[in-house]
Structure 1
Amino acid sequence: MPCKGTPTPCSPLKRLLFRFVLKIFYGSIVVEGTSNIPKTGRPCIVCANHSNSLTDALLMVASIPAKERNMLRLTAKATQFGHRTFTSWLIESAGTVPMKRRKDYTEGESTDNTDVMQHLMEALELGDAICLFPEGMSRYHPTIAPLKTGVARLVSDVLTRNRNDPDFEISILNCSVTYMHRQHFRSDVLVTFHPPMTFTPKVNPRFILPADAPTGKEPLMSMCHSNPAQISSGTIDSPSWDLVRVAKLAARIYVPLGTRMSLGDHVRVVRTFLEAFKAAEDGPVDEEHLEEDEKTPAETAELAELRLDLNTYQDQLVRWGIKDDRIRRRPLPRHTILSRMIVRLTWSICLFAISFPGLMLWIPVFLTTFYAVHNFKKTGPVFDTWDEIAQYKLIYGLFSGIAVWIGSALITFPFTMVTFLLVPALMWMTLRWLEDAVAAFRAFTALLRLLLVGKPTLRDMHSRREDLHARVIRLAVQTIGLPEDPEAYFARQGGKEKGRVRGRWESGSRYFSIKRRRKRDWNETLRLYDIVDYPKEE
């Protein structure tokens, strides 16, 4: 194809900035399926789920390798443009195209996007890739919103415009984005690019509109139906947060803590359990639904009962502040717990001590970000504000961090050049040490709670957990087809992609890596407690 795509001045600098702020905020960003990305010059529409406002767009730009695409043209709601803010400047300077949404305008105001669609079609014909979020909005809820038909219509219009070029082709590249905890510092992100769907005038003539038809409907429905299924298949798509909570616990029971598995494997295991529990969302099915549901009322009732028992078990763990992994093993002798507490506390104090100088640099960043987010939450309900928290943290964290960096350099004159290099290095290493210090202190407090709970209660919980484990394994192996020995299976599965270690030596050495902290639990964040609950959705 002769197209070379639109050149993008300063694109490497912008991508570097996006990657920098994302890699500071999120612990690991694991990208899968980059080989599926069409090369530069091939018209491509990148479609992704949209749950984290502007952060999703930054992630798309940062996740697509520059050697694969030299341009990713973003789209954003028109109300983000024309403001004297950093967010508005960032959106406009990245070549983003404004889209008018009906919900943002009063009745009678024009929401015509004809010129915008014309601009996007011309960009595609030049060989560019454009990014669309077919849900049409960023949402807090865990379920993917019904996808709009704009992507299918855009493909149809472009094919129609190029009907006389049999070699013309356009691809839809679906992408699934999964934030383990989208708004929490040092959480993890999975980005999965699926095999593209390619369309040409020759192979797909039914998508070409008749000369007298301004738009098409029925011929595009198959394309509209395939998008949500592919996007949903790579992420945690749930009708409620309660189901996400239960599915994550079931996955944790099925795959013991410390199993060497990639973030992608972890998300897929959680999603597999989630799909199974969805069947019990509304209770037992009646006879007329048996064919489509493929489960008997007894099986559905068993799933509903397991879900209830898992919820009760998780509630008890939350009250005690203990992870499931502490219950999995038989109660430890008192002297063993005390000795481990001493080791964890000593290690935590040492790490906090060497982190202290760097923490003085981080405190202004933490305070500024906390204050900004605290005030932002007051502006609206959970469903209208929580999808933008990460965006606020990224922006305010970036500005306050730069202010600390420049301020430190000016204060230490005439050693400015040394400080200019030393401060960011110290802040990064402090962050690494702080993660380890918090994890060690979290382990110390968990051991302390084991002492307070007492052996008799722990034995009862262990017996309950054994029963739950047997039922979860039965569900995993016999019903949903997961491997019988997950520890051995996931240790062999996959390669050495980021977010995964192979062997004891590599596992141990990664613990001291300056690049990132080696996590045993993908659910972990930079918090003193395990995050298993979510804000209410009133």
Structure 2
Amino acid sequence: MPEGTRTSWSYFLIRLLFKFVLKIFYGTIVVENADYVPKTGEPCIVCANHSNSLTDALLLVTAIPRWRRNMLRLTAKSTQFGRKTFTSWLIESAGTVPIKRRKDFGDQVVDNTMVMGHLMDALELGDAVCLFPEGASRFHPSIAPLKTGVARLVSDVLSRNRDNPNFEMSILNCSITYMHRQHWRSDVLVTFHPPMKFTPKNNPEMLTPVDYSAIRMLTARMHQQISSGTLDSPSWDLVRTSKLAARMYAPLGTRMSLGDFVRVTRTFLDAFKLTIMTANGDANGSATNSGSEGEKTEMWVEIEELRKLRQDLKAYQDTLSRWGVKDDRIRRPLSRFSIFRRIFIRLGWTLFLSFISIAGFILWSPIVITTYVAVRNFKRTGPIWDTWDEIAQYKLVYGLISGVCVYFFSMLATLPVAPITAVVVPVIMWMTLRWMEDAVSAFRAVAALARLLLVRNRTLAEIAALRKDLFERVMKLAKRLGLPEDPETYFLESGGREKGRVRGRWESRAKYFSIRRRRKRDWNETLRLYDQVDYPEE
């Protein structure tokens, strides 16, 4: 059995470095089904959706356990190589293989024969190779049609080893879901799927000369598996509406894992997508093109109900956004006295946390300013769909460089006690980050409560009545979709202890002061002064 390429020191260093940086940038990184990753020595192609540029590759490198694979051989567009930049050095040092893309060469014919040869050699050595079958990263809610390169690579490797009928390789599909990919302290879900295994003996249809229909069929299977684990939507509007339906079904404080939240949102999203497939009264669409006339009529009525629910949910979210309040404030209305009391408590908490964070914020300021200026200038270079997928990458790189500079400057400025500074500065910066997250969260609550005071009681009553009707319709839909009837109890019993309401005073205090991470109640939360529920215009 092959042993795989040994881990280089540069790869080990890069993996360690960016595991640290990713944990700083993202609030929680949840990895599901890591046991599905084939062990070192088993040829494997790791494939994932590609929506966040270099950050996607870094996430996969850090998500794959070292006890399963010693390294993941990356690929990147050839234009990233040979440049005098930190990113270019980083890519080359990790043993990344350059791939030429037609779009980078004026749509001219490009030759990747040598590159494919290197990848086949690596697979035969027992390595794991990372490929993004969409072909390019893009800021879009849907997964692009997958290119057939991965399936053709499988065919080529199996054909080269046809004399060894038991030679086995696999495709490990992975779904990456960012709550808000470009925002600081948002959350990420990485879900590995059961690997697709191939051998010359069991898959003769993949041996040359291969029927191209087999290539297309394998590519379609990959697309279905990757899509099933993330929010694959034709529009941002559907993502926004589906998240609202998921929050109404499992309200703020429900103790559920990020994976459960994504799957619930995906369930509503799949239902709402039917209303897009049959838009403009297309009764001959795939959703209504089978069965008797009675079944067609019943299905059409259900789709019309779905469309009306989707439109009403959108209107409700628009209303919440216009007034600047969250659904939870409508679900559990407060008296004026309670609002004033909570504003007073949270405002005091905000000021206290901001005060104790002053020293640490001085250390964070150069990093925040550097990344802000870099990202602001980068956004001006192109449209949203072509630049926003690289925002997280820019923040990670510029944040890392400026953070290292702050760290070493702090030691130089305190040279007599530099060994102490080397330990104290990271601790102060980490605790400051924790305190600022709490301060920002408390400020968001103050702002939301203050906005509630501006809304007339009559208007609140009308919004509450609208929500009551929508909630009943959402729960009716959830039951029809096979979701649990009592989500708060079900997800708590199924192990959802990562977010949500804390039971008991002792557990509350222990979780609140946890050194590992701040206890957030909402998977949608980011380190911003306002609630992030809206997306860029289509």
State the TM bucket, normalised to the shorter chain: over 0.9
Q: Tell me which residue corresponds to 2:232.
A: 237
Q: Please report how far the alpha carbon of residue 495 of structure 1 lies from its aligned counterpart in structure 2 after TM superposition.
A: 6.5
Q: Please report how far the alpha carbon of residue 241 of structure 1 lies from its aligned counterpart in structure 2 after TM superposition.
A: 0.4
Q: Tell me which residue corresponds to 2:304.
A: 301
Q: Distance in 2 between matches of 1:98 and 1:217?
A: 26
**Could you say what the CA RMSD is over the residues aligned between the two structures, in angstroms?**
1.6
Q: 1:22-171 maps to which residues of 2 (within 5 A)?
A: 22-106=22-106, 111-171=110-170
Task: Give, as a single letter, the amino acid of the residue that structure 1 aligns with 2:337.
Answer: H
Q: Distance in 1 between matches of 2:141 and 2:107?
A: 30
Moved more, 349-358 or 258-267: 349-358
Q: Secondary structure at the match of 2:256?
A: coil
Determine if contact 2:272/2:306 at 8 Å carries over to the other structure.
yes
Task: Give, as a single letter, the amino acid of the residue that structure 2 aligns with 1:375.
Answer: N
Q: Distance in 2 between matches of 1:251 and 1:526?
A: 22
Q: Distance in 2 between matches of 1:165 and 1:226?
A: 26
Task: Give, as a single letter, the amino acid of the residue that structure 2 aligns with 1:299.
Answer: E
TM-score (norm 1): 0.95
Determine if contact 1:142/1:241 at 8 Å carries over to the other structure.
yes
Q: Distance in 2 between matches of 1:186 and 1:326?
A: 23
Determine if contact 2:501/2:521 at 8 Å carries over to the other structure.
no
Determine if contact 1:283/1:304 at 8 Å carries over to the other structure.
no
TM-score (norm 2): 0.95
CA separation of 1:457/1:501 partners in 2, compared to 1, >3 Å: closer, same or farther?
closer
Q: Tell me which residue corresponds to 1:248.
A: 243
Q: Tell me which residue corresponds to 1:381.
A: 383
Q: Distance in 2 between matches of 1:468 and 1:101?
A: 47
Q: Please report how far the alpha carbon of residue 342 of structure 1 lies from its aligned counterpart in structure 2 after TM superposition.
A: 1.2
Q: In the alignment, is residue 260 of structure 1 matched against residue 241 of structure 2?
A: no
Q: Please report how far the alpha carbon of residue 416 of structure 1 lies from its aligned counterpart in structure 2 after TM superposition.
A: 1.4
Determine if contact 1:262/1:500 at 8 Å carries over to the other structure.
no
Q: Distance in 1 between matches of 2:190 and 2:502?
A: 22
Q: 1:236-292 CA deviation, whole Å, 9 max, x = no partner?
A: 000000111100111111111000000000001111111100011225441564135
Q: 1:328 aligns with which of 328, 331, 334?
A: 331
Q: Tell me which residue corresponds to 2:458.
A: 456
Q: Tell me which residue corresponds to 2:411.
A: 409
Q: Distance in 2 between matches of 1:292 and 1:273?
A: 23
Q: 1:170-202 CA deviation, whole Å, 9 max, x = no partner?
A: 000000000000000000000000000100111
Determine if contact 1:283/1:300 at 8 Å carries over to the other structure.
no
Q: Tell me which residue corresponds to 1:349.
A: 351
Q: 1:169-208 maps to which residues of 2 (within 5 A)?
A: 169-208=168-207
Task: Give, as a single letter, the amino acid of the residue that structure 2 aligns with 1:204.
Answer: N
Q: 1:330-380 CA deviation, whole Å, 9 max, x = no partner?
A: x32211111111111111111111111100111111111100000000000
Q: Distance in 2 between matches of 1:175 and 1:283?
A: 35
Q: Distance in 2 between matches of 1:107 and 1:443?
A: 51
Q: In the alignment, is residue 219 of structure 1 matched against residue 218 of structure 2?
A: no
Determine if contact 1:180/1:522 at 8 Å carries over to the other structure.
yes
Q: Please report how far the alpha carbon of residue 134 of structure 1 lies from its aligned counterpart in structure 2 after TM superposition.
A: 0.2
Q: Distance in 2 between matches of 1:508 and 1:469?
A: 33
Task: Give, as a single letter, the amino acid of the residue that structure 1 aligns with 2:342.
Answer: R
Determine if contact 1:284/1:298 at 8 Å carries over to the other structure.
no
Q: Please report how far the alpha carbon of residue 519 of structure 1 lies from its aligned counterpart in structure 2 after TM superposition.
A: 1.2
Q: Distance in 1 between matches of 2:155 and 2:13?
A: 35
Q: Tell me which residue corresponds to 2:487.
A: 486
Q: 1:2-23 CA deviation, whole Å, 9 max, x = no partner?
A: 2110001213322111101101
Task: Give, as a single letter, the amino acid of the residue that structure 2 aligns with 1:222.
Answer: M
Q: Distance in 1 between matches of 2:495 and 2:351?
A: 37
Q: Secondary structure at the match of 1:296?
A: helix
Q: 1:111-152 CA deviation, whole Å, 9 max, x = no partner?
A: 100000010000000000000000000011110000000000
Q: Please report how far the alpha carbon of residue 308 of structure 1 lies from its aligned counterpart in structure 2 after TM superposition.
A: 1.1
CA separation of 1:93/1:252 partners in 2, compared to 1, >3 Å: closer, same or farther?
same
Q: 1:75-108 CA deviation, whole Å, 9 max, x = no partner?
A: 0011110000000001110000000111111355
Task: Give, as a single letter, the amino acid of the residue that structure 1 aligns with 2:313.
Answer: L
CA separation of 1:501/1:190 partners in 2, compared to 1, >3 Å: closer, same or farther?
farther
Q: Please report how far the alpha carbon of residue 455 of structure 1 lies from its aligned counterpart in structure 2 after TM superposition.
A: 2.1
Q: Please report how far the alpha carbon of residue 216 of structure 1 lies from its aligned counterpart in structure 2 after TM superposition.
A: 5.0
Q: Distance in 1 between matches of 2:417 and 2:306?
A: 65
Q: 1:286 aligns with which of 283, 287, 310?
A: 283
Aligned residues: 528
Q: Please report how far the alpha carbon of residue 507 of structure 1 lies from its aligned counterpart in structure 2 after TM superposition.
A: 4.8
Determine if contact 1:183/1:389 at 8 Å carries over to the other structure.
yes
Q: Distance in 1 between matches of 2:123 and 2:211?
A: 19
Q: 2:270 aligns with which of 251, 272, 275?
A: 275
Determine if contact 1:44/1:130 at 8 Å carries over to the other structure.
yes
Task: Give, as a single letter, the amino acid of the residue that structure 2 aligns with 1:97.
Answer: V
Q: In the alignment, is residue 4 of structure 1 matched against residue 6 of structure 2?
A: no
Moved more, 79-88 or 290-299: 290-299
Q: Distance in 1 between matches of 2:285 and 2:396?
A: 51
Task: Give, as a single letter, the amino acid of the residue that structure 2 aligns with 1:71.
Answer: M
Q: Distance in 2 between matches of 1:143 and 1:219?
A: 24
Task: Give, as a single letter, the amino acid of the residue that structure 2 aligns with 1:342.
Answer: F
Q: Secondary structure at the match of 2:416?
A: coil
Q: Distance in 1 between matches of 2:226 and 2:218?
A: 13
Q: Please report how far the alpha carbon of residue 166 of structure 1 lies from its aligned counterpart in structure 2 after TM superposition.
A: 2.1
CA separation of 1:361/1:288 partners in 2, compared to 1, >3 Å: closer, same or farther?
closer
Determine if contact 2:42/2:168 at 8 Å carries over to the other structure.
yes
Q: Distance in 2 between matches of 1:20 and 1:268?
A: 28
- Identity, % of aligned positions: 63
Q: Secondary structure at the match of 1:463?
A: helix
CA separation of 1:31/1:382 partners in 2, compared to 1, >3 Å: closer, same or farther?
same
